[in-house]
């Protein structure tokens, strides 16, 4: 799917129905469970005897993304991925999404196409169907609301509330990268604002920029765990930062935690860039958010199965509720874990 | 659920998680199919052997509603109802909703509670569960995005594409009222802007104001059709106006239509108010929108079953595609039906 972006077509030329019809022509159906996609009052899905898993996320311009440095195609891709990540975090398989977008007249048809192209690219990559949505206008920025549906056998589902004393705390991939990518983009935006003639200096930052602009959901981790026959006792995806998600797991499972700072996986580029910004790399991993890695707990008996998985780190263990939520620092001192998460509402 | 509105609590005092937690405490679960509601990465639903029906709608402040005259509780109620209406229009039963809202700092906790109270009132009225969502901040207005899920036996589902030549075209309730209610509210807003001391004159307009501010979804019509054993051949709900929905039905069913102007149900108050505004009452019914009535086609053999239903009007019949989409006016002249629908994108 390639769009011609050399022209600008006003959305008002098409109208709401015209826009929906235009964008719908690019939508393909991949899932057998999709009985009816776009085009009626509702989509119709057939999950047979499986359980339905459903999650929704809203992304608001100026709050969750900045179009100064976020290409629309990447934004579309990311907005789908963050929803799928929630479905994987239930140990379920995503099947369909619904997409609602509010656009102001600032956006052209070509811009809407770019956004949609990114969404459809994610649908293709993760083999899911776009089955409906709503397209409307807004007076100011762009708002994207996506609902993702998935399926699972009831016995496969993993909730946030199943962590037990003695369980190992594990995390996929590495943390803090998306946040440091954002810091680099914000810095270059500030430089550009001061002097529009200066080219942004993003050299060597590819990995963390990709973490921020084009994250992936960890379908591979869900597949891996299935292959090595490990069912986590609890699981959550990391959207708001490690400490915030750990607290969610502990609260819902009614347990305590001991987290080891030295075990938190941080990519060298994330580490070096944090230092460059005079930031504590651990704090970036704990509070940065948007990594979309999976945080989960497993029974001790699964240690041997999991210890050699290169992309999974064991970062702590579950304790009794009365022990509290603690992090053992590299120097051996013990801190209580606190978190605001990525508190969008505190921003102006 | 009653809220204390004498105080104002800033949303920034609670933060995002605090707000979600606070509002979640009012949510009750009514549906057996809700295995897991709010509180994990996704909700989990069990529909057994039924088919899943899903639809989503986005409402944007300044585009779809004006808080000058729309109380937040009514807005919450209406935003749920418009989604349920889509599920009924599939001849399915709604079961769960997910609610995402973006709020600016202009809104207090008490305002969020009012909005939520209206949504929960609709959940109670229609016996559905609120099972998840997202709450975030916005820089300007309020944005509400709701996804509704329902279930149906496959054989009960009614699509837009099943209308056949010779079928009768039927509509529930009466049309144009919601639009005339909006005209009255807009007029009084303009008067108030000129002179804030003047009280708004809404006397005698109760019915059309209710149609605009607190519409209902026609669950009763779905039940009635089941009781009299009539399965429509095609169905759609009227959100954008009669003519727009008729064109959708005809296009998807690949048929023509003959609509009789004199048969279009218009309430006397709608009629008189349209005249008061120098508007053509028929045009208000055709293009007004937001009535959330059901428009459907039935086989001729069902005529006897349907003819005595007081709340259903037979307004036309389906013709061959080649005959076109026509309205026979009261004077006997024939016009082609055209519609922009409620073209939000053409508004500034």
**Residue B208 — left, alpha, or beta (φ > 0 → left; ψ -120 to 50 → alpha)?**
alpha
Is A3 a domain residue? no
Is A339 a domain residue? yes
Whether B31 has its CB under 8 Å from any CB of chain A: the answer is no
Confidence of residue B344 (pLDDT cuts 50, 70, 90): very low
Q: Residues A296, A231: contact at Cβ < 8 Å? A: no
Residue B9 to residue A106: CA distance in whole angstroms? 34
Residue of B100 and B27 predicted with greater confidence: B100
Say which of A12, A86, A137 has its CB closest to residue B42: A86
Residues of B in contact with A348 (CB under 8 A): 105
The pLDDT assigned to A3 comes to 64
Identify whether residues A319 and A177 lie together within a single domain.
yes
Single residue among B156, B181, B213 that ends a domain in this structure: B156
The pLDDT assigned to B199 comes to 81
Confidence of residue A5 (pLDDT cuts 50, 70, 90): low
Identify whether residues B119 and B90 lie together within a single domain.
yes
Tens of pLDDT, residues A20-39: 778 778 888 878 888 888 87
Identify whether residues B142 and B175 lie together within a single domain.
no
What is the widest separation between alpha-carbon atoms in chain A? 65
3-state DSSP percent of chain A in helix, strand and coil, to 5: 35, 25, 40
Tell me how many degrees the CA angle B44-B45-B49 measures, rounded to the nearest 5. Answer: 145
The pLDDT assigned to B106 comes to 86
Identify whether residues B73 and B220 lie together within a single domain.
no
Number of domains in chain A: 2
Tens of pLDDT, residues A157-211: 999 999 999 999 999 999 999 999 999 999 999 988 888 888 888 889 999 999 9
Is B65 a domain residue? yes
ipTM of the complex: 0.88
Could you give the percent of chain B with pLDDT greater than 70?
95
Is residue A279's pLDDT more than 80?
yes
Is A196 a domain residue? yes
Single residue among B112, B129, B156 that ends a domain in this structure: B156
Residue B240 to residue B234: CA distance in whole angstroms? 17
- The A residues from 47 to 86 touching B (CB cutoff 8 Å) are 47-49, 51-58, 60-64, 85-86
Identify whether residues B172 and B152 lie together within a single domain.
no
For residue B226, the domain's CATH number is 3.90.650.10
Residues of B in contact with A105 (CB under 8 A): 348
CB contact under 8 A, B53 and A44: yes
Task: Output the pTM of the full model.
Answer: 0.90
Which segment of A146-150, B38-42, B309-313, B331-335 scores lowest on mean pLDDT?
Answer: B38-42
How close does chain A come to B293, measured CA to CA in Å?
Answer: 13
Q: Is B305 exposed, middle or buried (0-12, 13-18, 19+ CB in 10 A)?
A: middle
Identify whether residues A280 and A136 lie together within a single domain.
no
CB contact under 8 A, B60 and A89: no
Residue B287 to residue B43: CA distance in whole angstroms? 38
For residue B60, the domain's CATH number is 3.30.1330.10
Residues of A in contact with B45 (CB under 8 A): 51-54
Is B38 a domain residue? yes
Confidence of residue A342 (pLDDT cuts 50, 70, 90): very low
- The A residues from 237 to 256 touching B (CB cutoff 8 Å) are 237, 252
Identify whether residues A140 and A286 lie together within a single domain.
no
Identify whether residues B184 and B297 lie together within a single domain.
yes
Which segment of A36-45, A237-246, A282-291, A306-315 scores lowest on mean pLDDT?
Answer: A36-45
Is residue B347's pLDDT more than 60?
no
Is B338 a domain residue? yes
Identify whether residues A79 and A127 lie together within a single domain.
yes
User: What range does the domain containing B48 cover?
Assistant: 11-156
CB contact under 8 A, A102 and B63: yes
Is B316 a domain residue? yes
Residue B155 to residue B152: CA distance in whole angstroms? 8
**Residue B172: strand pairing partners:** B312
How close does chain B come to A335, measured CA to CA in Å?
Answer: 22
Single residue among A98, A126, A154 that ends a domain in this structure: A154
Beta-carbon contacts of residue B51 (< 8 Å; ≥ 6 apart): A35, A44, A45, A46, B92, B151, B152, B153, B154, B157
Identify whether residues B204 and B328 lie together within a single domain.
yes
Residue of B33 and B340 predicted with greater confidence: B33
Identify whether residues A129 and A249 lie together within a single domain.
no
CB contact under 8 A, B344 and A16: yes
3-state DSSP percent of chain B in helix, strand and coil, to 5: 35, 25, 40
Span A321-332, mean pLDDT? Answer: 96
Identify whether residues B248 and B337 lie together within a single domain.
yes
The pLDDT assigned to A44 comes to 84
Is A117 a domain residue? yes
Q: Residues B141, A140: contact at Cβ < 8 Å? A: yes
């Amino acid at each position: 799917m390639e769009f011609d972006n050399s022209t600008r077509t006003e959305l008002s030329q098409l109208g709401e129905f015209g826009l929906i019809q235009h964008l719908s022509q690019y939508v393909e159906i991949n899932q057998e469970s999709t009985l009816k996609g776009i085009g009626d009052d509702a989509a119709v899905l057939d999950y047979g005897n499986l359980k339905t898993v459903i999650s929704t996320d809203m992304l608001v311009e100026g709050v969750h993304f900045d179009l100064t440095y976020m290409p629309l195609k990447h934004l579309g891709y990311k907005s789908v991925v963050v929803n799928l990540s929630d479905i994987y975090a239930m140990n379920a398989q995503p099947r369909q999404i619904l997409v609602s977008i509010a656009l102001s007249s600032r956006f052209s048809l070509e811009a809407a196409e770019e956004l949609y192209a990114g969404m459809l690219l994610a649908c293709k990559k993760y083999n899911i169907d776009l089955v409906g949505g709503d397209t409307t206008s807004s007076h100011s920025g762009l708002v994207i609301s996506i609902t993702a549906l998935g399926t699972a056998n009831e016995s496969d589902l993993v909730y946030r509330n199943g962590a037990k004393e003695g369980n190992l705390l594990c995390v996929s991939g590495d943390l803090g990268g998306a946040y440091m990518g954002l810091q680099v983009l914000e810095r270059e935006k500030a430089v550009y604002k001061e002097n529009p003639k200066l080219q942004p200096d993003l050299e060597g930052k590819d990995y963390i920029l990709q973490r921020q602009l084009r994250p992936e959901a960890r379908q591979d981790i869900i597949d891996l765990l299935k292959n090595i026959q490990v069912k986590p006792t609890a699981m959550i995806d990391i959207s708001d930062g490690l400490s915030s998600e750990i607290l969610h797991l502990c609260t819902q499972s009614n347990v305590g935690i001991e987290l080891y700072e030295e075990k938190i996986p941080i990519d060298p580029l994330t580490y070096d860039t944090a230092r460059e910004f005079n930031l504590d790399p651990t704090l970036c991993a704990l509070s940065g958010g948007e990594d979309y890695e999976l945080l989960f707990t497993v029974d001790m008996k699964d240690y041997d199965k999991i210890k050699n998985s290169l992309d999974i780190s064991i970062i702590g263990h579950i304790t009794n509720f009365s022990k509290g939520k603690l992090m053992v620092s590299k120097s051996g001192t013990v801190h209580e874990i606190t978190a605001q998460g990525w508190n969008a509402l505190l921003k102006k």
